[in-house]
Every structure is written in C-alpha cells, then in structure tokens.
C-alpha cells in the first residue's frame, strides 16, 4: 500500500486528501518511483480549483514534479534506470500521471537525472522552473548579451529561473514584485533591477532603466489588465510571453502598442519543449550543465512534510514565498 494525495471535488487546498491505495506496477513506457520530494506549482493549485488549462477528471491526483528513486520499470524500459535518483519533467497531463504521493507511476520519457550534489528537495525544484524559462527566453526569444528582460512576478520559482538564465546569457534581468519587501532578496538572486509595481510608476521605471527603449523580452505569468502596461513597457519589435493567468481577469489586447511597436504577444507553456523529442534533450543539457557547474541553483522557499500537504498549498496561494515550495516524503 502507498499513501497518495487525491481529491474528489473542486475547491481550495482543503479538498486534498491523503489516501492509501495498492501499489501499482508500471506499464509500457513507465517507471515507478519511490518519491522523496515533490515541488509545488501554481498550475496544481489552479487544477484542483478547476481553473487550469485542463479540467480534472474526478477523482483525481495532483503533482507535476517528483524527485525520487526508480524502483520498478515497465517491460520496454531500459533497466539501467533502476536505482537511479531522478526528477520528473512535466511533460504529461495530471489526469494521466500525478506525482504527489509516497510512490508515483511516471512516463520514462519524462525522467531527468539531476547532479548528485543536489538534495531530493532541490531535485524536485528543477525542471518546471528552468524548462519553462529556458523555452521562452532561449529556445524562442534567443536572449543575448545586452537584452533587457522584464520578469513580472519574479519571486516565483519560474521567475527566479528566468533571472538566472537572463543573467547567465549577459542580458539585463528586470524583476517586478508587488511590494518592496522582496526587493533585497531578488537583487541577491541576480536581478539587476527590481520594481515594486504597487509603489512605483512601473512603465516610467522600465523606460528609465532601458534608456527609453523598453524591454525586448517580457516573460509574464499575470496577464489580465496588466498586459496593457506591459505593452507600454515593451521595446519596438519586442516579444511578450503570456505563460500564466495569476490575475484571473479578462486580458485586453494592447492593440495600439502592438501596432505601433510591431509587438509579438504569444501564449506559451513548457509543454512546447517537454513534449518535443528533439527540443527536450537540448533543454535538459542546457539546464543540467549549469546546475552541475553551479551557475544555476534552485531556491527553496519552504519545505513541508507530507502530512502538511494542505498547509503547503495554502502557503503557495499566499504568495509569501520567494522560490520553490517543496513537500518531503519520508
């Protein structure tokens, strides 16, 4: 038997329950993990509320990112995976695979090893954040030295990954956060500038920082009316990535800014990378190499024990964190 997190109805973190279920055997193309840690993501919070890009098929499980040890493989899976410490890369529907539990069935194609110097908690804080940022900033926008990269909601794990990536490419990461209480930590994590959007004139500050040019690349998980300000802050020929919906409000298209500046505004998810068998290996190497040599280091905001799963998701929804929230499983 194994303890697994499930939910039978939609709602906030309170709908989550820890249930005992029989252990499962992996099928074709699958492995079974003994889970040691699970990284939390806003996507899961939206999923249990029925607000995500896909609707949960109840009763459902939750969780994209598990780190653990491969303890069984399917009949067609390379047996060399057995006993390896791996972290799961989000490349699947949570209706098909859910990672939060003492054990998890995962597709072998979604496995990624992580450097041995990292803990399991850090291993569970790698792939969602770094692949999401990599796909937009490197694979699509080709961020380069001197580029101004604007990163709203920068205290999230993905936002911090975007700061690290922009900085490693010689670009200028401009982080935003609502209040100034997170400024010092974001600067310490590599942001060149931090703008507190509820306390400063956001567009004026971006123009000041960029010498009037605006940001060439904007990596935005907020959407809603905020997109109009991002259009004002963008450079001529700039690209705005919308990869989230934190505002949960209608998102008006910034028509005149888009016309005058020739802006590209596109939706994006990391699945563009993780479900592409040609792009994923390139992304994995880019990230693994930088984890191995220390240029990247996942920032853990807080660790919760498995028994406090509900509290962990409540903390995620509080937006108090800087970095990744992780659940550890004994």
Distance set, CA 158 to CA 44, 61, 244 (Å): 14, 23, 11
Instruction: Give me the chain's average pLDDT, please.
Output: 96
> 158 in helix, strand or coil?
helix
- pLDDT value for 126: 95
Model pLDDT for residues 96-147, shown as the tens digit of each residue = 999 999 999 999 999 999 999 999 999 999 999 999 999 999 999 999 999 9
Name the pLDDT band for 165 (thresholds 50, 70, 90): very high
Q: Is the full-model pTM beyond 0.85?
A: yes
CB 108 within 8 A of CB 77: yes
- CA count, 13 A, side-chain hemisphere, 275: 7
- pLDDT value for 262: 98
Pair of tokens at residue 131 = 């692949």
Burial class (CB in 10 A: 0-12, 13-18, 19+), 124: buried
Pair of tokens at residue 114 = 């992580």
What percent of the chain stands above pLDDT 90?
A: 98
Could you tell me where in the chain the CATH 3.90.180.10 domains are found?
A: 2-126+298-328
Q: How far apart are CA 100 and CA 152, in angstroms?
A: 28
Q: How far apart are CA 243 and CA 240, in angstroms?
A: 10
Name the pLDDT band for 57 (thresholds 50, 70, 90): very high
Model pLDDT for residues 202-246, shown as the tens digit of each residue = 999 999 999 999 999 999 999 999 999 999 999 999 999 999 999
CB neighbour list of residue 256: distance below 8 Å, 6 or more residues apart: none
Walk across the sheet containing 60-61 and list its strands. Answer: 17-21, 2-7, 60-61
Could you tell me where in the chain the CATH 3.40.50.720 domains are found?
A: 131-269
CATH number of 131-269: 3.40.50.720
Model pLDDT for residues 181-192, shown as the tens digit of each residue = 999 999 999 999
Q: What is the CA radius of gyration of the chain?
A: 20
Name the pLDDT band for 302 (thresholds 50, 70, 90): very high
Region 32-47: what's the mean pLDDT?
97
Query: What does the angle CA 222 – CA 289 – CA 79 come to, to the nearest 5 degrees?
Result: 100
What percent of the chain stands above pLDDT 70?
A: 100
Region 248-272: what's the mean pLDDT?
97
- pLDDT value for 166: 98
Decide if domain 2-126+298-328 falls under CATH 3.40.50.2030.
no
Peptide bond into 59 cis (omega under 30): yes
Pair of tokens at residue 51 = 């607000």
Region 293-300: what's the mean pLDDT?
94
């Amino acid at each position: 038997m194994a303890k697994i997190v499930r939910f039978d109805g939609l709602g906030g973190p309170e709908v989550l329950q820890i249930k005992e279920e029989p252990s499962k055997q992996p099928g074709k193309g699958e492995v079974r993990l003994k889970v040691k840690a699970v990284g939390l993501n806003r996507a899961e919070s939206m999923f249990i509320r029925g607000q995500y890009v896909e609707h949960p098929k109840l009763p459902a499980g939750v969780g994209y990112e598990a780190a653990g040890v491969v303890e069984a493989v399917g009949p067609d899976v390379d047996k060399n995976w057995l006993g390896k410490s791996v972290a799961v890369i989000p490349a699947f529907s949570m209706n098909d695979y859910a990672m939060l539990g003492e054990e998890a069935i995962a597709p072998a194609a979604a496995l990624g090893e992580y450097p041995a110097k990292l803990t399991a908690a850090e291993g569970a804080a790698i792939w969602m954040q770094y692949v999401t940022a990599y796909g937009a900033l490197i694979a699509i926008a080709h961020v380069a030295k001197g580029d101004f990269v604007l990163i709203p909601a920068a205290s999230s794990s993905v936002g911090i990954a975007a700061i690290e990536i922009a900085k490693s490419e010689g670009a200028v990461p401009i982080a935003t956060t609502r209040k100034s209480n997170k400024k010092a930590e974001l600067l310490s994590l590599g942001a060149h500038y931090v703008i507190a959007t509820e306390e400063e004139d956001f567009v004026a500050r971006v123009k000041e920082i960029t010498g009037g040019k605006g940001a060439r690349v904007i990596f935005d998980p907020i959407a809603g009316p905020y997109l109009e300000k991002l259009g004002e802050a963008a450079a001529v020929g700039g690209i705005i990535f919308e990869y989230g919906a934190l505002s949960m409000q209608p998102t008006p298209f910034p028509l005149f800014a888009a016309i005058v500046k020739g802006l590209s505004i596109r939706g994006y998810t990391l699945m563009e990378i993780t479900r592409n068998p040609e792009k994923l290996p390139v992304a994995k190497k880019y990230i693994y190499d930088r984890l191995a040599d220390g240029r990247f280091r996942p920032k853990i905001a807080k660790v919760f024990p498995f028994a406090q799963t509900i509290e962990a998701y409540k903390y995620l929804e509080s937006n108090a964190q800087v970095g990744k929230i992780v659940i550890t499983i004994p």
